Structure 1
């Protein structure tokens, strides 16, 4: 359960790396020697947390915690940092990076989805200027989605950063409030890609997954289909608690949390917990689905700070699992 003590733990963990510049993994194509620069020069806001997308969703995490738990000790520090960083000049620097040559694939689509999720969270605080400041960057990524999705003939059915379904869960939520044309496009493309999927036979996890391709597809279609979801799901996973889907119900085992890619599996357990919780009300035996979610949570929550390879991002997925 997410309570104030847990919120404080998560917030303290993430504030510890949100502006930590080193180590940092750039997602960059070098077009010439002038492109070489420090992370903070390339990304005035999102240069912490080991990589750009982790910094983005780290911001989503702390801003959500500050909104849900305004009385925790970290809220003043979170809001002061937002006042300093989430300002038009800094955002302009992030937008300028997208204008560089060969940035079309930058953070596609994982970082795109998380940036829209961050803007959506900030918009829940209309008393502060943060959402308005970040809006040009959100609109830039929305435009990228709008240009990219019609060209994507086949969805990326992955458990990593290139997952189509995971990114679109966040993008659809944002678009329904901020860009109805993009929302309609996401709904249309999701139906084309996933609407006829039947009798899924999941082979999960792959060795470096951090989201469930199968369950994320189901969560996206739950959002897209609304009341029509249950018939689709019954055809997609006819026996969610049977032997063919046992791999979706068994928490993954992490053998080395100092290896960033192997540590992904802690994130997979948290992502599955989120998905099972999201799906539970629309599934038969909803209590069973929630028990599966709890088993996955218990497998990962003790390890959020075991090593920086997990510490720089896992608390976000824990918060996602605990708040839906």
Structure 2
């Protein structure tokens, strides 16, 4: 982020973990048993599909995993779900990919914590004939995987930026930026989109401070408290996701006139918009990502046709205070279409 965002471009260094079993958390409803056949099916003839998420605790990835499990069951496939210990656990994800390769899965769906850190493991999997699909978070370069099913995160960021700017109603902006995880394309694209939507650059004086939160509510609350302590004039907050927005809202509790925007579209997030904690959020559709990813692997197992390119699974601005010129839906609609 120029002088404010240089840390977001740095590689995330994570100590090498001795064994995959230590590095990974495994969803209780999924299988980790090895011994799949060479054709990517288990001993019962089901297509084996691996899923590697950033964590098992973030509600967004919980929903993505549940949706993938449901779709796999409908398609008669077997899902093996693994995850890093925390957002940014690159080595945990590398170990997960290697684990799935050893289990002879037909395809791997992954939400990379670091968009470049897993490239070697992905290449090794693809070299063995395994189709690899990025969900939610693109790799860098995007061609490192066969296909990507995700939100257009820059476009989602633009929607957040446009709304926050409009909601200030002509007031001079004083913005706090709560970023996610350094090295993630989601972080980079949402940040870039927000600035584009607001009409700013990384060096704009309207930006009063930035902080890396890893999308964590507690870290975001501490960061927001520190930023506000340095500048009581802050009146707008960009957040990488709704947990970060919730942390910002808690830090700013009792302080009026601060516009908080976010991206995610969880049911909790929509309720926070409804209650006025956030001004708006931009909804994503993780269920679509998971369903389309599973379907693509099952189709590949049947006809050997690999998916390719980027598929935008959509985003929607949610607010109860609509602005002229910006298409949005209210929280009643949001609660009918939210996830989590």
TM norm. shorter chain > 0.5: no
Higher fraction of strand: 2
Q: TM-score, normalised by structure 2?
A: 0.30
Higher fraction of helix: 1
Query: Which structure's CA Rg is the greater one?
Result: 2
